[in-house]
Amino acid sequence: MEVNTTSDDVPRAGWRVMLVTGASGFIGGAVIARAMRDPELRVKGAMRRAGLSLVQGAEVTLVRDLARDTDWKEALSGADVVVHTAARVHVMRDPSIDPLTEFRRVNVAGTLNLATQAAAAGARRFVFISSIKANGEQTLPGSPYSAADVPAPVDPYGISKLEAEQGLRDLSRECGMEVVIIRPVLVYGPGVGGNFRAIMRVVSRGIPLPLGAIHNRRSLVSLDNLVDLIMTCVHYPRAAGGTFFASDGEDLSTTELLRRIAAAMARPARLIPVPERVLWTAARLLGKTDVAQRLLGSLQVDITQTRTLLGWTPPVSVDASLERTTRHFLTGR
């Protein structure tokens, strides 16, 4: 199914060449595929592995790593705008002895090296895919993060993303290259992995879950909606200098999300209404409070500024996005 997005309707900054880093990744590959439909853009991708169908037709440059000494000259040649999706991503069980140092090496030093070379090569805009973790890990239900909030990251990944944002703003003030920052919440879509895929697997097998009475609120963003926002930030002149939250604009409880996933799969939702306090207690006893926080806690964002400054509305509904995601999970299409 072709997804029609709205970003073709926004004012255009007039870029001719766009470089996407992390072109083999979940987000980067989708940005490449979307940008390839834009007849006014020449699309380039940078990635560590070749031969992936998502970037078929794009000009691909292989880079060995995202590090402070990586040479980006070939990839940046002619680029007017850079969309930086490559990163050392958040992992649940990080094997590193010093995770913060490793995140800083890639997400801070590597990003600033790329941005510095981009500015020197003549790129005029740098779109950085950050994370809501730059703000923090949780909100109270009904009290979403807003553009006015002071970021307070907790884990090494979130700290590294915020430090990269700060470094990019400093660089922008020094050299004049426009910087746009996007902070997505949990991203899902066809081909999603991690916890979201694990949830779909459990629902598809009809395994009963004790999550039938959860009243938290969590923001999500579908891959289609995130890519549409990224392309809006690529083109729209008023995006320069902004920091934008990305979500579907509809927040769900864990219970409601599971029910909607089940409905999209045409499966029964086997949810047992166990009180939240019982689940929290069990999680503490088992040393699984991190898991409980993701399933029972709230994490919301307010996208009012994104809507207002960019004139942007998420073009794809939650239900339509879940239908596409679950269909791909079940059928591979």
Beta strands in 119-254 (DSSP E): 125-129, 178-184, 186-188, 220-222, 243-246
Task: Give CA separation, 231 vs 38, 235, 289, 321, in Å.
Answer: 10, 6, 37, 18
Residue 55 has pLDDT above 70, yes or no: no
pLDDT in tens, 9-29: 667 778 899 999 999 899 999
CA 103/CA 157 separation, integer angstroms: 6
Q: Which residue has the higher pLDDT, 58 or 38?
A: 38
Task: Among 85-99, 101-115, 207-221, name the one with the lowest average pLDDT.
Answer: 85-99
Across 294-308, average pLDDT: 97
CA 176/CA 173 separation, integer angstroms: 6
pLDDT in tens, 173-213: 999 999 999 999 999 999 999 999 999 999 999 999 999 99
Residue 6 has pLDDT above 50, yes or no: no
188 carries an active-site annotation: no
CA 267/CA 204 separation, integer angstroms: 7
Instruction: Determine contact, residues 299/219, Cβ cutoff 8 Å.
Output: yes
CA 231/CA 35 separation, integer angstroms: 8
Domain ranges of the chain: 15-187+223-247+301-314
Burial environment of residue 130 by CB neighbours within 10 A (0 to 12, 13 to 18, 19 or more): buried
CA 25/CA 71 separation, integer angstroms: 20
Instruction: Determine contact, residues 220/105, Cβ cutoff 8 Å.
Output: no
Burial environment of residue 168 by CB neighbours within 10 A (0 to 12, 13 to 18, 19 or more): buried
Q: Backbone dihedral region of 22: left (phi > 0), alpha (psi from -120 to 50 degrees) or beta? A: left
Amino acid 142: pLDDT: 87
Q: Backbone dihedral region of 126: left (phi > 0), alpha (psi from -120 to 50 degrees) or beta? A: beta
Confidence of residue 4 (pLDDT cuts 50, 70, 90): very low
Task: Among 3-12, 47-56, 123-132, 211-220, name the one with the lowest average pLDDT.
Answer: 3-12
Percent share of the chain, pLDDT over 90: 83
DSSP count for the chain of H helices, then E strands: 12, 9
CA 30/CA 22 separation, integer angstroms: 10
Residue 8 has pLDDT above 60, yes or no: no
Amino acid 50: pLDDT: 62
User: The domain 15-187+223-247+301-314 is classified under which CATH number: 3.40.50.720, 3.60.40.10, 1.20.120.550, 3.40.50.12640?
Assistant: 3.40.50.720
Q: Which residue has the higher pLDDT, 48 or 270?
A: 270
**Angle ∠(158,164,169) on CA atoms, nearest 5:** 130
Q: Which residue has the higher pLDDT, 188 or 59?
A: 188
User: Encoding tokens for residue 278?
Assistant: 């019982």
- For residue 227, give the nearest of 79, 311, 127 by alpha carbon: 127
Q: What secondary structure letter does DSSP report for 137? A: S
Residue 80 has pLDDT above 90, yes or no: yes
Across 106-126, average pLDDT: 98
The distance of Cα 227 from the centroid of its chain, to the nearest Å, equals 9
Confidence of residue 57 (pLDDT cuts 50, 70, 90): confident
Amino acid 145: pLDDT: 97
Strands 186-188 and 17-21: unpaired
Q: Which residue has the higher pLDDT, 64 or 203?
A: 203
Confidence of residue 51 (pLDDT cuts 50, 70, 90): low
Amino acid 11: pLDDT: 73
Q: Which residue has the higher pLDDT, 45 or 96?
A: 45
Residue 218 has pLDDT above 60, yes or no: yes
Residue 137 has pLDDT above 80, yes or no: yes
Q: What secondary structure letter does DSSP report for 270? A: -
Amino acid 63: pLDDT: 87
Query: To 10 degrees, the CA torsion angle through 116, 117, 118, 121?
Result: 130
Cβ count within 10 A of residue 98:
11
Strand partners, 143: 140
Q: What single-letter amino acid sits at 328?
A: H
Residues in the chain, how many? 333
Residue 228 has pLDDT above 60, yes or no: yes
* Widest Cα–Cα separation across the chain: 58
